[in-house]
Structure 1
Amino acid sequence: MRLIVLGCSGSGPGPDSPASGYLVEAGGARLVLDLGNGTLGALQRHLDPWDLDAVAFSHLHPDHCADFSALAVHRRYHPRPPHDPAVRPLAVHAPAEAPDRFAAAYAPDAAERAETDLTDVFTFHPLTDGGSATVAGVRLTARRVDHPCEAYALRVEADGRSLVYSGDTGPCASLVELARGADVLLCEATWPHLVPGTDREQPPGVHLSGRQAGEHAAAAGVGRLLLTHVPAWFSGEDLLAEAKAAFDGPVELVAPDRAYDV
């Protein structure tokens, strides 16, 4: 299994990276976890989008799904598609509101929102807490996590290897449970543990600090921790130091266009 970072900037694209998006090559499958602002362009440096087997969205905030509309245009209007997308529509695993939300984003105006139908090129599969699906021989399992909208952490398993992606979440037991014994935890580390200039911890139910990412990795007993989703206004090195203080296994801050063996 291999993880390729398409983008890793938290809360939106930054000067050095698109927003969140990750290509996973596992067994014979190629799937994308999230497709935030700018990631479809990055994807094309590594893979023809027609070769994707599925896309999975942890949640529907724009920095994790904004490039879905661009993918819809690619699959509908490419002048030389290798196959008819209506014959082989792309599987999309996402929160239940995804078909309506993506139709609204794609529709040319409000009047056409209700008539916009994307099922000619996509098949939608709602994520559920604890639910699993098989994608080209790869097992995809979701757990609900603590974020202001419907949000999931995702576990990808193939050929005896496992990768868990936190998506966006505050501290929660479900992330630890899903990540138990995983080879790699790709985990958000969005902010420092203390609000800058104060002795107060960050609010719960939104994101993880670097320290909390390390604590979740330690509690789950993962083999390796990869940190992501660092906004442009915080120091990734500071968050990396927090995580290393809480987790004694290998820890690394991911970078766009880098590949990581799982």
Structure 2
Amino acid sequence: MRLIVLGCSGSGPGPGSPASGYLVEAGTVRLTLDLGNGTLGALQRHADPWALDAVVFSHLHPDHCSDFASLVVHRRYHPRPPYDPTLSKLPVHAPAGAAQRFAAAYAPSAAELATTDLTDVFDFHDLTEDTVVRLGRDDDPVVVTAFGVDHPCETYALRVEHGGRSLVYSGDTGPTPNLVTAARGTDLFLCEASWPHTDDMPGGVHLSGRQAGEHAAAAGVGKLLLTHVPAWYDAAELAVEAKAAFDGPVDVVHDGGVYDV
């Protein structure tokens, strides 16, 4: 497997990166994990959007999903599509209500909210706790498993497995044992670290660099990749925190970064 960073800026795009979005290549399968602001453009530097096998969303905050509206335009109005998108609909796996949420974001006016429907070119599937999605060939599957985590809206950590290797993406989350369960023994742990560690951090929102390291250590992961650092924080500082809590390799991802799993 290979992880390609389309964007990694926390809470919105920053001066050096789009918001959250990642391309995973596993065997013959290509899928995205989130599509935040600016990530569809970045995707086209690495893969043809028509070659995607699935789009998976950890949650529906705009910095993780807002470029889906642009993907709608791409699949509906591209002048030379390689196949009929109404006959080969792109699977979308996301928290409940995604079809309505994305339709509302795409609708051209308030009067058209009730009649906007994106199911002509997309096939929506609700994620729930322990949802298992199988992609690709039956004899060489890519398996995506959802684990509920702790954020103000319905949010899932996503574990992707293929060929005996695995990566786990935390989504956005505060500290939770379920993230340790999701990441247990994974080769690559892509974990949010959204602020420096303090004694008065709000619960159920994000992780500090130290907390990301603590979760990585508890899960026994192979490598920790920090992501979702907002533009107003120093990523190097958060990496120092993580390294103090986790004695394995730690890196901070960057726009366009490529990581073999």
TM above 0.5: yes
Number of corresponding residues: 257
Alignment of 1:85-124 (within 5 A): 85-124=85-124
- Match of 1:182? 186
Structure-2 residue corresponding to 1:131: 131
One-letter amino acid of the structure 2 residue matched with residue 42 of structure 1: A
CA shift for structure 1 position 258: 1.1
Shift of 1:201: 3.2
Distance 2:145 2:121 in 1: 24
CA distance in 1, matches of 2:220, 2:190: 13
Residue of structure 2 in register with 1:252 after alignment = 251
Q: Is residue 38 of structure 1 aligned with residue 60 of structure 2?
A: no
Distance 2:48 2:91 in 1: 16
Report the equivalent of 2:202: 203
Q: Deviations over 1:5-38 (max 9, x none)?
A: 0000000000000000000001210000000000
**Which whole-Å CA distance do the structure 2 matches of 1:36 and 1:257 have between them?**
14
2:216 is equivalent to residue 217 of structure 1: yes
Q: CA–CA distance in 2 between the matches of 1:178 and 1:238?
A: 26
Paired residue secondary structure (2:99): helix
Q: Which runs of 4+ in 1 moved over 2 A?
A: none
1:171-225 CA-partner distances (Å, limit 9, x unpaired): 001110011010111000000011xxxxx33111000000000000000000010
The question of 1:19 aligning with 2:19 is answered yes
Amino acid at match of 2:30: R
- Which residue number corresponds to residue 60 of structure 2? 60
**Who is 1:162 aligned against?**
166
Instruction: Tell me which amino acid in the other structure corresponds to 1:111.
Output: A
Root mean square deviation, CA, Å: 0.6
Task: Quote the Cα distance in structure 1 between the aligned partners of 2:223 and 2:257.
Answer: 16
What SS does the corresponding residue of 1:215 show, helix, strand or coil? helix
SS in 2 for 1:114: helix
Distance 2:148 2:195 in 1: 21
Alignment match, 1:197: none
Structure 1 residue identity aligned to 2:47: L
Question: What is residue 225 of structure 2 aligned with on the other side?
Answer: 226
- How many Å separate the matches in 2 of 1:28 and 1:47? 12
Q: Distance in 2 between matches of 1:172 and 1:98?
A: 24
Which letter maps to 2:155?
Answer: A
Cα separation, 1, equivalents of 2:191 and 2:135: 22
Unaligned runs of 5+ in 2: none
1:71 aligned counterpart, secondary structure: helix
| CA displacement 1:95-139 (0-9 Å, x = unmatched) | 011001000000111111111111111000100101101011210
Separation in 1 of the partners of 2:189 and 2:211?
13
Q: Which runs of 5+ in 1 are unaligned?
A: 195-199
Distance 1:244 1:138 in 2: 31
**Mapped partners of 2:119, 2:60: distance in 1:** 18
User: Secondary structure of the residue that 1:113 maps to in structure 2?
Assistant: helix
Amino acid at match of 2:73: V
CA distance in 2, matches of 1:249, 1:24: 23
CA distance in 1, matches of 2:201, 2:135: 37
- Cα shift at 1:82: 0.3
Aligned to 1:76: 76
Between the aligned partners of 1:14 and 1:152, the Cα distance in structure 2 is: 24
Percent sequence identity over matched residues?
73
**1:140: Cα distance to partner?**
0.5
